[in-house]
Amino acid sequence: MAISNPGFLLDLDGLLINSESLSEIAFEKMCKKLGCEFTQDYHASIRGTKKELWSAGLVKEFSLEVSSQEVAKLHDALLLSEMDHSVNLMPGAIELLDWIDFRGYPKALVTSSDSVYAKRYLEKLGLLERFMIFVTSEDVKNGKPDPEPYQIGAQRLERVPSNCIVFEDSVNGALSGKSSGATVVAVPSSPSDKERMSVADYVLSSLLESISVLENLGL
């Protein structure tokens, strides 16, 4: 597929930083506190979605006697504790950003997280200045897997979605990117996601493989 002068739309959690593995730890701890069953498949099914959506779903699924807001607040506290001690860049993240910036392609961060969280950890890892354009949970009515986040991202890059390349780690994110009309490169962050990632145009084992894919596209 030929893409001329593309825009790049990059997810954050699990794609650029290792937060999805830390979120799984936090999610498991949260489930123990709340008395609900934790499974990796269930966690994978909500990966990439807005916390307002998955927390309400969790309350309903397990008939919890707490509000979805309390669930989200507990997970946030547990996750931030894990993140502050163990957040790191994913292999190949810097190399991909360098490759995009060297060629002058526009890029945006498109995340289901809120802007305070996203900027907090981008700054902690030295990436905040690499992004000028953001789409966060506050910017969308319908989060991933709805196409809205990536449609907005393309618009902010002054591109049509079909002229954009999305990088994602979750099935919900890949569905969002693909339904927007973009080309999707997936780096699944879990075995469950990898098994269900047929929606993506390219499925990689690491971002370290991304540059060869982009060069094969003639970019």
Q: Does domain 20-86 have CATH number 2.60.40?
A: no
pLDDT in tens, 61-77: 888 889 999 988 898 88
Bridge partners of 88, per DSSP, are none
| pLDDT at residue 200 tops 90 | yes
Residue 50's pLDDT is 78
CA distances from 173 to 34, 61, 145, 177 (A): 27, 22, 6, 6
Rounded CA gap, 90 and 12, in Å? 10
| pLDDT at residue 100 tops 90 | yes
Q: Is 139 a catalytic residue?
A: no
Query: pLDDT-derived band of residue 149, with 50, 70 and 90 as boundaries?
Result: very high
Residue 141's pLDDT is 94
Question: What does CATH list as the number for 7-18+88-216?
Answer: 3.40.50.1000
Q: Is 11 a catalytic residue?
A: yes
Residue 1's pLDDT is 60
Range from 45-49, 97-101, 116-120, 201-205 carrying the lowest mean pLDDT: 45-49
pLDDT in tens, 8-65: 999 999 999 998 788 888 888 988 999 888 787 787 777 778 788 888 988 888 888 8
Query: pLDDT-derived band of residue 102, with 50, 70 and 90 as boundaries?
Result: very high
Which residue is catalytic, options 11, 146, 169, 193?
11
Rounded CA gap, 153 and 64, in Å? 35
First to last CA, the chain: 11
- Listed by start position, the domains of the chain span 7-18+88-216, 20-86
> Could you give the percent of the chain with pLDDT greater than 70?
99
